[in-house]
Amino acid sequence: METEKRTQTTAEQITDRDLSEQIKKVTKESHVRAENTELMLSFQRGQVTLQQYKLLLSSLYEIYQVLEEELDRNSNHPGVAPIYFPAELARLEAIEKDLEYFYGQDWRERIVVPAATKRYCHRLRQIGAENPEFLVAHAYTRYLGDLSGGQVLGRIAQKSMGLKSSDGLSFFAFPGVSSPNLFKQLYRSRMNSVELTEEERNGVLEEAVRAFEFNIQVFDDLQKMLNVTEIQNCSTLSKPVKMPQIPGNMTKTTPLLRMVLGLFVALATVSMGIYAF
């Protein structure tokens, strides 16, 4: 509620009528927060792990599946038609290809997504049915964000994960876009051509902030999932060392044998201690 009020206030202060510029202004703070999530910082530092990337791809698959379904279903809507570029921007097939590369043909049964991803998808279905013009906010946030950082992030991911080829990195490639900069100019001009009432425009601006918030929540939840996995792996590797047990009947032997056995246990204890570090 507080976020929505802040967005409305900001939107009222903007005099520039270009929708793309208005979205850029109202989401400036959220954009910075998204870039500073632990997951995104891993990309920026060139330290993204294979597990991080696989979890991210799994969530992106769910998000893009719903987003592109709703864009397809509303492709003739006046608020969607101008920014509908499936041949140039569609990500779903590329993500499916990457997931199959990492998980195998049964990847659909193996991927997991956090609750934040499901909430994001629910919202996309809701506005697709009730306010299709709001889809422009999510399409702009996701597609232009991926297009802007695609090539750079793809190279970072490839180097960080030690991949020898571009296999598994199809998500970052936009073969239908010859010039990302020129295409982004075209996309923004199409956005600005969408005819909206004042109420609809404010709704789109609020939805743009909400889109960033959903992405931040997804990034944070994915990192939490990764942290839990790492803790479980550490627990599995930290099993206590079992000391040799002396059968009861062996202790009922001569004093000399008991002394020899005691010395053996002492030596074994020292050896285990050394190799435990």
pLDDT in tens, 109-158: 999 999 999 999 999 999 999 999 999 999 999 999 999 887 788 888 89
State the pLDDT at residue 80: 98
pLDDT tens digits, one per residue of 166-190? 999 999 999 999 999 999 999 999 9
State the pLDDT at residue 4: 45
State the pLDDT at residue 58: 96
State the pLDDT at residue 45: 87
Q: Is 188 annotated as a binding residue?
A: yes
The torsion angle over the Cα atoms of residues 54, 128, 220 and 49, rounded to 10 degrees, is 20
Mean pLDDT of the chain: 83
Burial 34-71 (b: 16+ CB within 10 A, else e): beebebbebbeeeebeeebbbbbbbbbbbbbbbbbebb
State the pLDDT at residue 233: 54
Phi/psi-derived region of residue 162, left when phi > 0, alpha when psi is between -120 and 50, beta in every other case: left
Closest C-alpha among 80, 14, 23 to residue 206: 23
Residue 49 above 80 pLDDT?
yes
The C-alpha R_g of the chain, in whole angstroms, comes to 27
Residue 14 above 80 pLDDT?
no
Inter-residue contact 59 to 171 (CB < 8 Å): no
- The architecture in CATH of the region 47-229 reads Up-down Bundle (1.20)
State the pLDDT at residue 229: 62
pLDDT tens digits, one per residue of 240-270? 545 445 455 544 444 544 543 443 433 333 3
Q: What percent of the chain has pLDDT over 90?
A: 65
Return the SS3 of 196: coil
Tokens read off for 53: 């990337």
Is this structure's pTM higher than 0.75?
yes
Cα within 13 Å of Cα(235), Cβ side: 6
DSSP state of 91: -
pLDDT tens digits, one per residue of 199-247? 999 999 999 999 999 999 999 999 999 887 655 555 444 455 454 454 5
13, burial (CB in 10 Å: exposed 0-12, middle 13-18, buried 19+): exposed
| Identity of the residue numbered 42 | S
State the pLDDT at residue 275: 32
Q: In the chain, how many H helices and how many E strands?
A: 14, 0
Q: Is 24 annotated as a binding residue?
A: yes
| CA pair distance 16, 88, nearest whole angstrom | 28
Handedness of CA 176, 180, 182, 186 (dihedral sign): positive
Mean local confidence (pLDDT), 71-91:
97
